[in-house]
Structure 1
Amino acid sequence: MKAPPRPVIVLGVLALAGAAALALAPRDEPDAWLGYVEGEALYVAAPVSGTLATLPVQRGGTVRAGQPLFALDPRTTDAATAQARAELANAQAQRADLAQARQRAPELDVSRAAQASAQAQLARAEADYRRFDALAAKGFASRTQLDAARAARDVAAASLRQAEAEERSGKLTAGRAQQQAAAAAGVAGAEAALSAQQRRRDEIAPTAQASGTIEQTFFNPGEWVPANQPVVALLPADRRKLRFFVPQERIAALRPGAQVHFTCDGCGPARTATIRYIAPRAEFTPPVIYSERARSKLVFMVEAALPTNQPLPPGLPVAVSPQ
């Protein structure tokens, strides 16, 4: 068998090399930006420490807005609330006492009776003085008798004025204006303290502020929960978003409020999301984005809000493209 000419062999080798180079050359990746689903969980805690009494939710379960999440033992809080209520009652009683008259009704009746007696004595002393004055003018009464009658009349008038002053004093309130203002301030402070304790009672048994999924629970009933330590992590349905990374040469075309398409494994047809945030500075592609060609590029991080009817799990990889 005759061997092929050398030029033909060379051409064949070159063709194979070209085909191999074409097969191994990096192809242009589709116009898609890689990212993932992220959720912003709400970490629900109590402002005071205590024993976890009830935990009616479980990890992975769904809750509705207003549904109880957990409750601490309320006995200590209830005792503090009762104390604040008693202090308020005491402050209100002090204020009411200072606003009343110094003398009660029976004591005022005594003052009025003394005033009536003084009026009667004054009337008799006045009549005696007029009689002795008339007699003295005719020479039938001495100067001494007239002076005694005048003195008796003046004493009776003074006694009447004293009785009237005692009645007016008894009608005055028990406290001065400054004392009454201090008592009113004490009532306001006690009311604020009671309101704070009642609010604290609600805070040790919080409810879900929005519908969502229980992402994690950190304590079990019967365990001691420190103050401000999260007990439940709630992921609301409206707090899920896409976080993806756009090359620097494409970022200028994006604006907050614009919509993008995205796909993910098992998600079916392409879905839409609305851009809410664009990072002001570029960064290198984060290691979580697995792309040989894009891992060293400068990119901008972009966040897009998901519709509430698309509860995708956090961490799910997505591929995003402009609309």
Structure 2
Amino acid sequence: MSRHLLLAGLVLGIAACSDQPDETLHGYAEGDFTAIAPDAPGRIVETLAREGTHVAAGDTLFSLDATAERAALATAEARIEAALARFDDAAAGARSPEIEAARDQLDQANAAAREANDALTRTRELFEDGHVSQARLDQALAAARTANARVAEMRQRLSLVQLPARENQLRALQAEIAAAQAERDRAADALDRRTVAAPADAAVHRQIRFTGEQAGPAQPVYELLPDGAVHAVLFIPETGIGGHAIGDRFAVDCDGCAAGLTARLAAIADAAEFTPPVIYSDNERARLVYRAEARFEGTPPPPGTPLRFRPQP
């Protein structure tokens, strides 16, 4: 029976019973179902829940193909390893062979400087004795200065190769590592989302799609009925709306309902609605009803169950 036919029958029943002394109201049980769909589209590779069973929050319901997501995660992890290696290399400075080469160049420069300085000393003595010209002395002096400058250059070069990379370069490498880690986290999250779990304790009401089919944000796989998501819908005649308030308790009766089941009124619609297919007239005011909701106190009946409500003191 469709919901529209059920509502028509229930509310017509209200009109027939509105004059009864026991003030019996009619309605039905309604469930707030939750459609479970993946965040991104994909092909279903496994479904684990079955209709009519109960699942706990966190239980895996289904999983989608995750080949691309696993590849993206592996790529991001490789980027992190490469960025970390570049940072470690820059922070450590030059490698041992480079340092040894710089030391060898400094030793060669020192040797050349000693030779040039010795030559300058000899040339200066010869100049003082009048055996060489001023030009020859100037050449020896220039050669000694050049050799000494080369020593200073090689000593500075050795100091530089022993230092780590510059601060700005290290910061740039740190930023590269952070970007790679963020990409890794995003890829890991995307991979995790290929497996979908139950958001709450619930009954599996219906399985909509199966292994091998496509699912997506607008293509749910399951329809769940969370625990505690069943409430009562009842209709209060317009002529009796003033006699009911939020918090009122009703005894609930139905075929198969547990004995002593009750419900408390939780909401009443702001405006009345017509009982189809009645045409409104002043003589049919009894056919106007207010839709109300009540919360069960006890184990609720299945959604769609017709209910009878009797006010309790």
Say yes or no: does 1:214 pair with 2:217: no
Take 2:41 and 2:24, find their aligned partners in 1: how far apart are those partners?
49
Say yes or no: does 1:41 pair with 2:30: no
The aligned residue for residue 238 of structure 1 is 228
Aligned match of 1:153 in 140, 144, 166?
144
Q: Name structure 2 gaps, 5 residues minimum.
A: 1-15, 278-283
- Residues 232, 169 of structure 1: CA spacing in aligned structure 2 closer, same or farther, 3 A cutoff? same
1:273 CA displacement: 3.6
Take 2:265 and 2:209, find their aligned partners in 1: how far apart are those partners?
36
1:158 CA displacement: 1.1
Deviates more, 1:44-53 or 1:205-214: 44-53
Aligned length in residues: 288
SS at structure 2 position matched to 1:70: strand
Say yes or no: does 1:310 pair with 2:299: yes
Deviates more, 1:155-164 or 1:195-204: 195-204
1:62 CA displacement: 1.5
1:157 alignment partner AA: N
Q: How does 1:1-323 map to 2 (within 5 A)?
A: 27-97=19-89, 99=91, 101=93, 103-130=94-121, 133=124, 143-171=134-162, 177=168, 180-221=170-211, 223-228=212-217, 229-247=219-237, 250=241, 254-255=245-246, 258=247, 260-265=249-254, 266-279=256-269, 281-285=270-274, 287=276, 296-299=287-290, 301-306=291-296, 310-320=299-309, 321=311
Take 2:18 and 2:271, find their aligned partners in 1: how far apart are those partners?
25
Structure whose alpha-carbon radius of gyration is higher: 1
Take 2:21 and 2:84, find their aligned partners in 1: how far apart are those partners?
77
The C-alpha deviation readout for 1:259-296, integer Å capped at 9, x for no partner, is 623312132433344555444x21315559xxxx8862
- Residues 184, 137 of structure 1: CA spacing in aligned structure 2 closer, same or farther, 3 A cutoff? same
The aligned residue for residue 10 of structure 2 is none
Take 1:314 and 1:180, find their aligned partners in 2: how far apart are those partners?
63
1:51 CA displacement: 3.2
Q: Percent identity?
A: 26
1:314 CA displacement: 0.7
- Residues 25, 50 of structure 1: CA spacing in aligned structure 2 closer, same or farther, 3 A cutoff? closer
Does the CA contact (< 8 Å) of 1:261 and 1:272 recur in 2? yes
RMSD value, Cα: 3.6
Take 1:27 and 1:77, find their aligned partners in 2: how far apart are those partners?
65
- Residues 250, 296 of structure 1: CA spacing in aligned structure 2 closer, same or farther, 3 A cutoff? closer
Does the CA contact (< 8 Å) of 2:109 and 2:151 recur in 1? yes
Does the CA contact (< 8 Å) of 2:18 and 2:24 recur in 1? no
1:173 CA displacement: 5.2
TM-score, normalised via structure 2 length: 0.74
1:188 CA displacement: 3.0
2:302 alignment partner AA: P
The C-alpha deviation readout for 1:48-95, integer Å capped at 9, x for no partner, is 333322222221121222222122234444334333333443444455
- Residues 247, 78 of structure 1: CA spacing in aligned structure 2 closer, same or farther, 3 A cutoff? same
The C-alpha deviation readout for 1:214-258, integer Å capped at 9, x for no partner, is 11001233x322322110111111222222334566469634xx3
- Residues 138, 240 of structure 1: CA spacing in aligned structure 2 closer, same or farther, 3 A cutoff? same
1:238 alignment partner AA: G
1:51 alignment partner AA: R
SS at structure 1 position matched to 2:205: strand
Take 1:32 and 1:83, find their aligned partners in 2: how far apart are those partners?
67
The aligned residue for residue 3 of structure 2 is none
Deviates more, 1:313-322 or 1:137-146: 137-146
Q: Name structure 1 gaps, 5 residues minimum.
A: 1-23
The C-alpha deviation readout for 1:295-314, integer Å capped at 9, x for no partner, is 62242x3333345x614211
SS at structure 2 position matched to 1:199: helix
1:98 CA displacement: 5.0
1:318 alignment partner AA: L
2:292 alignment partner AA: V
